Structure 1
Amino acid sequence: MKFRRHRHYEPPEINFIPLIDVLLVILIFLMVTTTYSRFSQIDIKLPVATTNKEENQTERPEPVFIAIAESGDLMVGNISVPKHNPQALANTLNQIIPEQNKGKTVVVINADANTSHQNVIKVMEVARDIGLTQLTFATQNK
């Protein structure tokens, strides 16, 4: 009887081929999905500017509030404007806003949720025609 005397013992080995295959797939995936940032080739030092808080406050005029009711009635600030009269709205806005502030003045439109879309468009057109370019709409949270 032979009891394993001549049998050669082989130590266990780790098979690296599946590991290499998985790493290669991960490497290809990362290369394809990576976005590269482009850096400027020129070193630029931007100029430094200081601002005077008082100057900034004088440059920005007060906003003008235009309220549009469901019926189409208009209020510019506290002044009532006849509805369906774009010329009266333009005259009122021209009286309230000085000519030099027309490009800087923000017009806030407070339109009723149930008002006609056409009423809002008319106000926007009048504002554009007299030179008011900064329009925004007021909303409320639920």
Structure 2
Amino acid sequence: MQFRANKKRSAPSVIIVSLIDVLMVVLIFLVVSTTFKERVPALDLNLPASQHAGSAITETDEPLTIQIRQEAPHLRLNNRTVTLTELSALLQERAQRNPHVNLNIQADEKAPFGEVVGVRDAASTAGITNIHAQVKLPAER
């Protein structure tokens, strides 16, 4: 048995062109299929649906968002738990600073209707007229 000691081996070469092609396809797939995070409220509310929902109104002053839950404590103002009495005082204070403030009400479908009416009355008493109920569009179901 004879070994060939005189033959020089060439350095191994790695062909990475096909690897780059595969990585580019994977990268394009990930970019296209990525879903971007939407603004998620602090509570998991099941909003009622509406066929004729309008678009949200924007303003320079941060709008107030009231969330009404099915379970107690029912009311949250800008992600802070409040009672109806506290809410009335806060709405009055905010309406005095800006009478054109927007009030967004996010009420769960199964939230007590009395709480929704109480929030609406507190806003009317404070002089807030831009009151909007947030609903799901049919495509969001």
User: CA RMSD for the aligned pairs?
Assistant: 2.0
TM-score normalised over the length of structure 2? 0.50
Percentage of identical aligned residues = 24
3-state DSSP class of the match of 1:110? strand
Cα deviation for residue 124 of structure 1 reads 0.2
**Does 1 or 2 have the higher relative contact order (CA < 8 Å, sep 6+)?**
2
Q: Which residue of 2 aligns with 1:67?
A: 67
Cα distance in structure 2, aligned partners of 1:120 and 1:98: 19
Cα distance in structure 2, aligned partners of 1:98 and 1:74: 19
Mapping for residues 48-127 of structure 1, pairs under 5 Å: 60-71=60-71, 73-82=74-83, 86-95=84-93, 97=94, 99-102=96-99, 104-127=100-123
Tell me the matched-pair count.
80
Q: Check the 8 A contact 2:95/2:127 in 1, yes or no.
A: no
Instruction: List runs of 5+ in structure 2 lacking aligned partners.
Output: 1-57
Cα deviation for residue 98 of structure 1 reads 5.4
| Cα pair distance change 1:128/1:98, threshold 3 Å | closer
3-state DSSP class of the match of 1:65? strand
Q: Check the 8 A contact 1:76/1:93 in 2, yes or no.
A: no
- Give the partner amino acid of 2:117: I
Q: Check the 8 A contact 2:66/2:75 in 1, yes or no.
A: yes
| Cα pair distance change 1:98/1:130, threshold 3 Å | closer
Q: Check the 8 A contact 2:92/2:127 in 1, yes or no.
A: no
- Segments of 4+ in structure 1 off by > 3 A? none
| Cα pair distance change 1:133/1:98, threshold 3 Å | closer
Cα deviation for residue 78 of structure 1 reads 2.4
